């Protein structure tokens, strides 16, 4: 498959996933009462929306049009994980999702030869993702007093399993595209 | 102690719908227009009643009566 077509597909996939992330976290923020967690979640969904714009800008600079994709990673993930039912589960699902995003973008950065603008966009986004991981981890730690360490840990474990199931479903398609870019590099 | 009538009324307040629309047999999916509204409802009700339960317990809940049981409402 054409390398440019693979880049276009992958960046479009990221763009769609970031939009879905913004909507997902926006809806979760609405379910919360005012406070520091809702405040941070609001910042997070604003960031996700911004990341989507970064990918749109990146595609534009590469003279590529985004592909309209029907499904995002979140769709697969939510199907596997189900919706959260309390604040701790909201944070656990957020934590697992953010870890996946971080790993995926870090993995993508290992592609040796790729347009500079893609690397710059990845660096910008990864920088912001670090804060997402940090605040959620702290909030989950604080919740151990209310929910118990075991309950928090087992919830994270359950959502991680769902994440693995979702990842396997999408891996075939986008891993092939990344691999082909790596082989070409 | 919260009774059934108060429980239905609290649900109606959160969902901004008439309380008469809610009874034990009402299906949860008939009350919410999307799954995120259900998340909002469940989280707010848990905070209101000082009760916490998770996804696993909620999995079997299909109607308001089953939700009442989770909240221990007679």
Per-residue pLDDT reduced to its tens digit, A73-98? 888 888 888 889 999 999 999 999 99
Name chain A contacts of B35, Cβ cutoff 8 Å: 83
Task: Check residue A120 and give its pLDDT.
Answer: 96
**pLDDT tens string for chain B (74 positions)?**
678 999 999 999 999 999 999 999 999 989 988 888 888 899 999 989 988 899 989 988 999 999 999 998 87
**Beta-bridge partners for B27:** B63
pLDDT, tens only, A47-64: 999 999 999 999 999 999
- Closest Cβ opposite residue A31 in set B39, B53, B58: B39
Instruction: Quote the distance between the C-alpha of residue B5 and its chain's center.
Output: 12
A80 CB-near residues (< 8 Å, 6+ apart) = A162, A163, A165, A166, A169
**B contact test, residue of A31, A35, A158 with most B CBs within 10 A:** A31
Q: Above 80 in pLDDT, residue A181?
A: no
What separation in angstroms does the CA of A179 have from each of A10, A53, B9? 12, 26, 56
CB contact under 8 A, B55 and A84: yes
Helix axes B35-49, B4-15, angle to 10 degrees: 130
* pLDDT at site B74: 73
Q: Do B40 and A31 touch (CB under 8 A)?
A: yes
- Residue A128 has a pLDDT of 92
Residue A20 scores a pLDDT above 80: yes
Beta-bridge partners for B63: B27
Contact assignment for B44 to A147 by CB distance below 8 Å: no
Band of pLDDT at residue A182, cut at 50, 70 and 90 = low
Q: Tell whether the model's pLDDT for residue A177 goes beyond 80.
A: no
């Amino acid at each position: 498959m054409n390398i440019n077509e693979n880049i276009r597909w992958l960046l479009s996939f990221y763009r769609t996933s970031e939009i879905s992330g913004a909507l997902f976290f926006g809806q979760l923020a609405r379910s919360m009462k005012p406070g520091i967690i809702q405040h941070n979640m609001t910042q997070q969904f604003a960031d996700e929306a911004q990341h989507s714009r970064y990918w749109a800008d990146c595609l534009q600079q590469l003279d590529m049009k985004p592909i309209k994709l029907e499904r995002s990673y979140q769709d697969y993930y939510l199907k596997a994980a189900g919706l959260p039912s309390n604040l701790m589960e909201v944070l656990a699902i957020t934590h697992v999702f953010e870890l996946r995003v971080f790993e995926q973008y870090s993995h993508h950065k290992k592609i040796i030869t790729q347009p500079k603008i893609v690397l710059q966009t990845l660096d910008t986004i990864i920088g912001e993702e670090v804060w997402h991981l940090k605040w959620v981890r702290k909030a989950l730690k604080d919740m151990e007093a209310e929910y118990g360490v075991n309950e928090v840990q087992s919830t994270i474990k359950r959502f991680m399993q769902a994440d693995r199931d979702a990842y396997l479903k999408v891996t075939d398609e986008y891993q092939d595209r990344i691999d082909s870019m790596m082989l070409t590099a | 102690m919260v009774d059934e009538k108060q429980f239905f009324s609290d649900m109606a307040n959160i969902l901004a719908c008439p309380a008469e629309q809610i009874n034990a047999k009402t299906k949860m999916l008939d009350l919410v227009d999307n799954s995120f509204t259900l998340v909002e409802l469940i989280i707010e009700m848990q905070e209101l009643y000082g009760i916490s339960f998770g996804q696993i317990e909620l999995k079997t809940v299909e109607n308001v009566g089953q939700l009442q049981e989770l909240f221990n409402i007679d």
